[in-house]
Amino acid sequence: MSQSFQLKPASYSLAKEFNVQVDPRAVITGYEPGHHAVPPKDDGYVFNRGRLRDMLAFWEAGLIGLKLQGDPSTGKSSLPEQFHARLNWPLYKVSCTPTTEAYQLLGQLVPGLDGRLAWTDGPVLRAAREGSSVLLDEGNVMEPGQATSMNLLLDGYCITIPETGEIVTPKPGFRVFWTENPVDSRLVVAGRNVQDAPFEDRWMVMSVDYLPADEEIRVVKNALLKVGTDPNKAELTAKLVVGVANQTRQAYRNRDKVIVSPMSTRSAIRWAKLIRRFQNVKAEEGGPTIYALRRGVSMSPEQRDAVEEYTRAAVGTAP
Ligand SMILES: Nc1ncnc2c1ncn2[C@@H]1O[C@H](COP(=O)(O)OP(=O)(O)O)[C@@H](O)[C@H]1O
Ligand SMILES: [Mg+2]
């Protein structure tokens, strides 16, 4: 059985929780802390204004499904995660695989200690029952036929559990988030499926691109500050890696023959952390920045050469 969901509503200030410049009186309803499925808060997370606007529109319009599309590591999964963390709103998460099946989303009969079969809700049905949220991460690796098992719930209709005859009506507040790398992405994202048209029709769609440079610099800097880096050094390193990352993304968009994968925020953060750790590496070994790049970011040998060039040029011009 699903755990009972009896949290007290609580009011949160948009300006304070999301660190954005809005009317200080603007509030949003969440819950008092306490539910086990509330994601942990990342204090270094930066809410981009445009993304937050889309998210709030989805949330307040009473819609059920939000699809976040974009290249790897643009920030698709962390947005719903951190949004829920700020509101103390439960978010069940499913890491989808090609073998994820409908029963893993909705539920199944499971033998109890007494040997008798008892119904256990899957994360999607549990969220519908509770009026909470579920995130289907990398949803489009799933077979289309499995995903369509959610169609009725995505429309807000009740469903009958065939095994028990129980009728479950989605409670207000039920929401489904779906992240995906588009099937037509230039990146090698293997095994993405085109979902069927009626399923696709059920979602609000949000396209997530890399953060603007100033915001990404704040993200990388926050990650460095968290591991104890001096603020001035954190700022310089963040500017350097974000500058090079954006050069790779630009080259990728210009269909450069060598730059075939744009540097992700995740890689940029890892690279920045390693630069700070490898401060003593000598110039013969590449120096801290190149040495850290070779270990922090995985790339083809041709792309590596090009990105090392960008990096040398950027280090050379750094103040
Ligand atoms: N706005 C942001 N603020 C802070 N960190 C971010 C932000 N966007 C992305 N990140 C970080 O970048 C990495 C990739 O983000 P994620 O949401 O997992 O990307 P995706 O789901 O698109 O692959 C994570 O480590 C995440 O914490
Ligand atoms: Mg993700």
CA dist., res. 278 & res. 80, Å (int): 34
CA dist., res. 319 & res. 301, Å (int): 29
| CB 249 within 8 Å of CB 236 | no
* Rounded (to 5) percent helix, strand, coil in the chain: 45, 15, 40
Mean of the pLDDT values across residues 131-154?
93
Q: What is the mean pLDDT of the chain?
A: 91
| CB 123 within 8 Å of CB 95 | no
Say yes or no: 177 and 47 in one domain.
yes
- Which of 73, 135, 208 is the best mutation target for the ligand 1 pocket, counting ligand atoms within 8 Å of the beta carbon and taking the most? 73
Say yes or no: 36 and 173 in one domain.
yes
Is pLDDT of 1 > 50? no
Residue 2: pLDDT band with limits 50, 70, 90: very low
* Residues framing ligand 1 (Cβ under 6 A): 44-46, 48, 70, 72-78, 179, 211, 219, 265-266
Of 7 and 157, the structure prediction assigns the larger pLDDT to 157
Supply 125's token pair: 């049905």
Say yes or no: 297 and 225 in one domain.
yes
Say yes or no: 195 and 219 in one domain.
no
Residue 183: pLDDT band with limits 50, 70, 90: low
Residue 195 CA to ligand 1 center (angstroms) comes to 25
pLDDT tens column, 50-61:
999 999 999 999
pLDDT tens column, 272-294:
999 999 999 998 998 999 999 99
User: According to the model, what pLDDT value does residue 289 have?
Assistant: 96
- For residue 81, the ligand 1 atom closest to its alpha carbon is 17
Say yes or no: 92 and 179 in one domain.
yes
Domain boundary among 188, 207, 226: 207
CA dist., res. 231 & res. 221, Å (int): 8
pLDDT tens column, 212-240:
999 999 999 999 999 999 999 999 999 99
Supply 76's token pair: 């698709």
- For residue 70, the ligand 1 atom closest to its alpha carbon is 22
Strands 175-180 and 65-69: parallel
> Is position 233 within any domain?
yes
CA dist., res. 171 & res. 130, Å (int): 6
Residue 81 CA to ligand 1 center (angstroms) comes to 10
Q: How would you class 69 by CB atoms within 10 Å of its CB: exposed for 0-12, middle for 13-18, buried for 19 or more?
A: buried
> Is position 188 within any domain?
yes
- For residue 222, the ligand 1 atom closest to its alpha carbon is 4
Say yes or no: 153 and 247 in one domain.
no
Amino acid in the structure at residue 84 = H
User: According to the model, what pLDDT value does residue 5 have?
Assistant: 57
User: According to the model, what pLDDT value does residue 181 have?
Assistant: 85
User: According to the model, what pLDDT value does residue 318 have?
Assistant: 58
Of 5-9, 177-181, 283-287, 293-297, the poorest mean pLDDT is in 5-9
Return the CATH number at 96: 3.40.50.300
Say yes or no: 141 and 279 in one domain.
no
Q: Whose CA is nearest to atom 7 of ligand 1?
A: 75
Amino acid in the structure at residue 71 = D
Residue 34: pLDDT band with limits 50, 70, 90: very high
Indicate yes or no: pTM above 0.75.
Answer: yes
Residue 158 CA to ligand 1 center (angstroms) comes to 34
User: According to the model, what pLDDT value does residue 154 have?
Assistant: 94
User: According to the model, what pLDDT value does residue 197 have?
Assistant: 76
Domain boundary among 163, 183, 207: 207
Find the radius of gyration of the CA atoms of the chain.
22
Say yes or no: 228 and 183 in one domain.
no
- Which of 265, 267, 271 is the best mutation target for the ligand 1 pocket, counting ligand atoms within 8 Å of the beta carbon and taking the most? 265
Domain count, the chain: 2
- Which of 52, 78, 135 is the best mutation target for the ligand 1 pocket, counting ligand atoms within 8 Å of the beta carbon and taking the most? 78
> Is position 3 within any domain?
no
Question: What range does the domain containing 307 cover?
Answer: 213-317
Domain boundary among 192, 207, 222: 207
User: According to the model, what pLDDT value does residue 191 have?
Assistant: 67
Is pLDDT of 155 > 60? yes
pLDDT tens column, 237-252:
999 999 999 999 989 8
Which ligand sits closest to the CA of 70? 1
The secondary element (H helix, E strand) that includes residue 56 is: helix 49-60
Residue 72: pLDDT band with limits 50, 70, 90: confident
The secondary element (H helix, E strand) that includes residue 12 is: strand 9-13
Residue 66 CA to ligand 2 center (angstroms) comes to 14
Say yes or no: 181 and 302 in one domain.
no
Say yes or no: 109 and 248 in one domain.
no
Of 181 and 153, the structure prediction assigns the larger pLDDT to 153
175-180 sheet: strands from edge to edge: 91-95, 133-137, 175-180, 65-69, 204-207
User: According to the model, what pLDDT value does residue 189 have?
Assistant: 54
Q: Whose CA is nearest to atom 27 of ligand 1?
A: 78
Mean of the pLDDT values across residues 76-100?
97
Say yes or no: 217 and 192 in one domain.
no
- For residue 79, the ligand 1 atom closest to its alpha carbon is 17
Residue 213 CA to ligand 1 center (angstroms) comes to 14
